[in-house]
């Protein structure tokens, strides 16, 4: 199995990954002026590029300047200058691996204090109990807005290829817009985008077709999909199996499996059901079930920190191991595995009973480590979750001021 972990993977597009270890997307939330990648982002990706991964997948890059997952989000649309993205791609490929840009639209998962738009398939808000007011109230998208958003994904993908990225990953997991359309709990439409799974998958499939048509043949196109939402009556593993089959004829190279959303944050390791309670590889049981019938190569992300776990993932029929939090603490983890070593330490666990707050603190801890790496410092994984959450809130306030100042100018420059 060691040889498989460090063996190349040939994808349908002709792209080749030098090994089976990928840095999964982690939202950096450190855009510079103009919502562009800056010097800190480049330094962060140089650190990872030197660590031995076969593939780096960026955090969310937003396709719509008026719809960001957070105020520090990077935007690549038709009006964004390309030079900062070219520099980002060069930094990420400096170690010899590939880099894919994760492209995304948040839909209804937009903070209430953010300017811009809050859209969803239906006017169904995020339900976080007493924390629900953190998110804006969505309006149901019109067919024209759906079509324009499909075009935005294609534009961002085409510009990513032009900038020198090796591929894109279309984000259709974790409760973001395309995942919202897939969910029968959130998507209550009665038109061509609602009802049956085929209709609920329509927007994702249209995005994939548009992206594939907009990029070169050898440019990789991947999709990030929930193995399940872990909500009663929501998108489940059987739905995932059917969607993977729908994606197979459309030129998709790889499907990354994760799980959960803000409402059920399984992706941060908060137990959602019996199949996600393992300490590592949260979604492995579901992934093995899906891999048995999948016509496409699968990548699994969620809680993988040790080489023996990574090898167990590959033994289960998954082709690529996605690592997130562990690379925020140990950016050279693949090189360590190749040398027979493991990480010295892990991030401090958050055991708070409030699941929504614990999920936010966990993500804040990860971004705290990313900011340290980006400044050339060593990670500090023992940082108290409350300290990391406070630091995150201060960063967000500063970023929100910049975004509010920038957005009116950006609107004027965009059709």
pLDDT at 265 over 60: no
pLDDT at 323 over 80: yes
* Confidence band, pLDDT 50/70/90 cuts, at residue 355: confident
- Is residue 72 a contact partner of residue 137, using CB atoms and an 8 Å limit? no
What pLDDT does residue 1 have?
37
Average pLDDT for the chain: 92
Say which range, 144-148, 257-261, 322-326, 344-348, has the weakest mean pLDDT: 257-261
* Confidence band, pLDDT 50/70/90 cuts, at residue 60: very high
Say which range, 263-272, 348-357, 395-404, has the weakest mean pLDDT: 263-272
pLDDT at 174 over 60: yes
Distance CA 403, CA 383 (A): 28
What pLDDT does residue 131 have?
82
In 222-243, which positions are buried (b, 16+ CB within 10 angstroms) versus exposed (e)? Answer: bbbbbbbbbbeebbbbebbbeb
Q: Which two tokens stand for residue 129?
A: 């109990």
* Confidence band, pLDDT 50/70/90 cuts, at residue 271: very low
CATH value at residue 49: 3.20.20.70
Distance CA 295, CA 248 (A): 6
Question: Collapsing DSSP states into helix, strand and coil, what is residue 22?
Answer: strand
Question: ∠10-177-38 over CA atoms, to 5°?
Answer: 70
Q: What percent of the chain has pLDDT over 90?
A: 83
What pLDDT does residue 232 have?
73
What DSSP string runs through 236-273? -HHHHHHHHHHHGGGT--EEEEE---SSS-GGGT---S
Say which range, 3-7, 314-318, 389-393, has the weakest mean pLDDT: 3-7
pLDDT at 413 over 90: no
* Confidence band, pLDDT 50/70/90 cuts, at residue 35: very high
pLDDT at 268 over 60: no
Q: State the average pLDDT over residues 328-353.
A: 94
What pLDDT does residue 161 have?
98
Q: State the average pLDDT over residues 383-398.
A: 95
* Confidence band, pLDDT 50/70/90 cuts, at residue 261: low
pLDDT at 270 over 80: no
- What is the domain range of residue 142? 2-413
* Confidence band, pLDDT 50/70/90 cuts, at residue 280: low
pLDDT at 278 over 60: no
- CA 158 to chain CA centroid, Å, is 19
Q: What percent of the chain has pLDDT over 70?
A: 93
Work out how many domains the chain is built from and give that number: 1
* Confidence band, pLDDT 50/70/90 cuts, at residue 260: low
Q: What is the pLDDT of residues 182-238, one digit of tens each?
A: 999 999 999 999 999 999 999 999 999 999 999 999 999 999 999 876 677 778 889
What pLDDT does residue 130 have?
85
Q: State the average pLDDT over residues 259-286.
A: 57
What pLDDT does residue 277 have?
38
- The 10 Å Cβ neighbour count of residue 350 is 23
Q: State the average pLDDT over residues 91-117.
A: 97
- Is residue 387 a contact partner of residue 350, using CB atoms and an 8 Å limit? no
What pLDDT does residue 303 have?
87
Q: What is the pLDDT of residues 151-169, one digit of tens each?
A: 999 999 999 999 999 999 9
Question: CA-CA-CA-CA torsion for 383, 388, 394, 396, nearest 10 degrees?
Answer: 130
Q: State the average pLDDT over residues 239-247.
A: 96
């Amino acid at each position: 199995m060691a040889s498989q972990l460090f063996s190349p993977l040939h994808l349908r597009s002709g792209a080749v990954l030098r090994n089976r270890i990928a840095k999964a997307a982690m939202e950096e939330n450190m855009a510079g002026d103009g919502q562009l990648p800056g010097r800190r982002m480049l330094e962060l990706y140089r650190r990872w590029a030197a660590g031995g991964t076969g593939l780096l997948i960026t955090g969310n890059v937003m396709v719509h300047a008026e719809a960001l997952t957070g105020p520090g989000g990077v935007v690549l649309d038709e009006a964004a200058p390309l030079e900062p993205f070219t520099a980002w791609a060069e930094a990420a490929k400096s170690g010899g691996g590939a880099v894919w840009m994760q492209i995304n639209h948040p839909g209804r998962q937009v903070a209430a204090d953010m300017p811009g738009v809050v859209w969803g398939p239906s006017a169904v808000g995020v339900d976080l109990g007493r924390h629900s007011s953190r998110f804006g109230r969505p309006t149901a998208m019109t067919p024209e807005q759906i079509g324009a958003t499909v075009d935005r994904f294609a534009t961002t993908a085409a510009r990513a290829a032009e900038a020198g990225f090796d591929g894109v990953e279309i984000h259709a997991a974790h409760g973001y817009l395309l995942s919202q359309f897939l969910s029968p709990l959130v998507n209550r439409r009665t038109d061509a985008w609602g009802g049956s799974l085929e209709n609920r998958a329509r927007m994702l499939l249209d995005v994939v077709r548009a992206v594939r048509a907009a990029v070169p043949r050898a440019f990789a196109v991947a999709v990030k999909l929930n193995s399940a939402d872990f909500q009663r009556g929501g998108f489940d593993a059987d739905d995932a199996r059917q969607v993977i089959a729908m994606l197979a004829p459309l030129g998709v190279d790889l499907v990354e499996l994760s799980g959960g959303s803000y409402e059920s944050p399984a992706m941060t390791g908060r137990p959602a059901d019996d199949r996600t309670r393992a300490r590592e590889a949260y979604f492995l049981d579901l992934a093995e079930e899906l891999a048995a019938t999948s016509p496409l190569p699968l990548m699994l992300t969620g809680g993988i920190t040790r080489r023996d776990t990574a090898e167990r993932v590959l033994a289960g029929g998954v082709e690529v191991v996605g690592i997130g939090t562990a690379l925020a603490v140990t950016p050279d983890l693949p090189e360590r595995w190749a040398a027979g070593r493991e990480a010295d330490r892990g991030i401090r666990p958050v055991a708070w009973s409030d699941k929504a707050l614990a999920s936010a603190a966990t993500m804040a801890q990860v971004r705290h480590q990313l900011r340290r790496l980006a400044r050339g410092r060593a990670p500090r994984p023992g940082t108290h979750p409350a300290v990391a959450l406070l630091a995150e809130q201060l960063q967000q306030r500063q970023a929100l001021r910049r975004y509010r100042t920038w957005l009116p100018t950006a609107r004027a420059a965009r059709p």
